Amino acid sequence: MSHACPNPVSAINPISRIINPMRSICLQSGSSGNAFFVEAGNVRLLFDAGIGGRRVKMRLREAGYDVNRIDALIISHEHSDHAAHAGALHRLYQIPLYLTPRTRQAIGYRLGKTFDVRHFQVGQTLDFGAVRVRTIPTTHDAVDGAAFIVEHDGKRLGIFTDLGSPTLSLFGAVRSVDAAYLESNYDPHMLRVGPYPREVQARIRGTGGHLSNAEAASLLAARETPMRWVALAHLSQHNNAPEVALRTHVEKVGADYPIHLTKRYDCIEPLCL
Ligand SMILES: [Zn+2]
Ligand SMILES: [Zn+2]
């Protein structure tokens, strides 16, 4: 199964970009840091800043992209695995920073000096020329958490992490996309017998926590047709394992469903749509 982008050289070739698909890279995902890169048309977006500038730069460069040519850094919520490096990335690479006023307040002094902040409200659509980013509310225990759908040229890519619970609006969002990075955080049995104290276990399972493998799979199973691909994201180190997540999804949606796995400490190959 290949959804890998065919020609990384096209990132610096304007002619091939015209006929290029939407390209995305999960630069890393999990409680140690999250960042997702999307190129659609001539717009390049970075979602979340949970890893440092040098790593973002290096991982993008390996895929043929220049970190200095990103049009927007969009922050989903204030938790440090998504926002710890927001200020630094914003300053270092001169990237306009998009976040909600409440998320900005919650990040507080950790953001440091800013020069170009653009506020949005969750539910609003952000326009970047022909590329639109829909923002979707989540029940995750952040002050103002958002999931995202990137739309361009009739294609839709979901960036769905730190979701809290599988709400009706989330079912709708998952149904509407062609491909997605989808949180599949924990296996309930591994969580129960794992190292976390009971309060923390309750938080993860609760409506303000994360989606289990089965909850994530139920979002996929509710679709009429499979996505072009899904990449399971934000897998817990202690309460999940790649093979367990994969098995749960395959049981719900079948072995033919194209499923990729993101990594806790590294990027994965660019995925195209
Ligand atoms: Zn997170
Ligand atoms: Zn979070």
Domains recognised in the chain with CATH numbers = 8-272 (3.60.15.10)
Neighbours of ion ligand 2 (CB under 5 A): 79, 162
CA of 50 to the centre of ligand 1 (A): 9
CA of 48 to the centre of ligand 1 (A): 10
- 3-state class (DSSP) for residue 186: strand
Which ligand neighbours the alpha carbon of 145 most closely? Answer: 2
Greatest pairwise CA separation for the chain in angstroms:
56
| Residue ranges with strand state E in 33-77 | 35-40, 43-47, 72-74
Question: pTM to 2 decimals?
Answer: 0.94
The per-residue pLDDT string of the chain (273 residues; one tens digit each, 9 = 90 and over) reads 568 776 554 444 444 444 678 999 999 999 999 999 999 999 999 999 999 999 999 999 999 999 999 999 999 999 999 999 999 999 999 999 999 999 999 999 999 999 999 999 999 999 999 999 999 999 999 999 999 999 999 999 999 999 999 999 999 999 999 999 999 999 999 999 999 999 999 999 999 999 999 999 999 999 999 999 999 999 999 999 999 999 999 999 999 999 999 999 999 999 999
**Residues 204/239, Cβ–Cβ less than 8 Å:** yes
CA of 65 to the centre of ligand 1 (A): 25
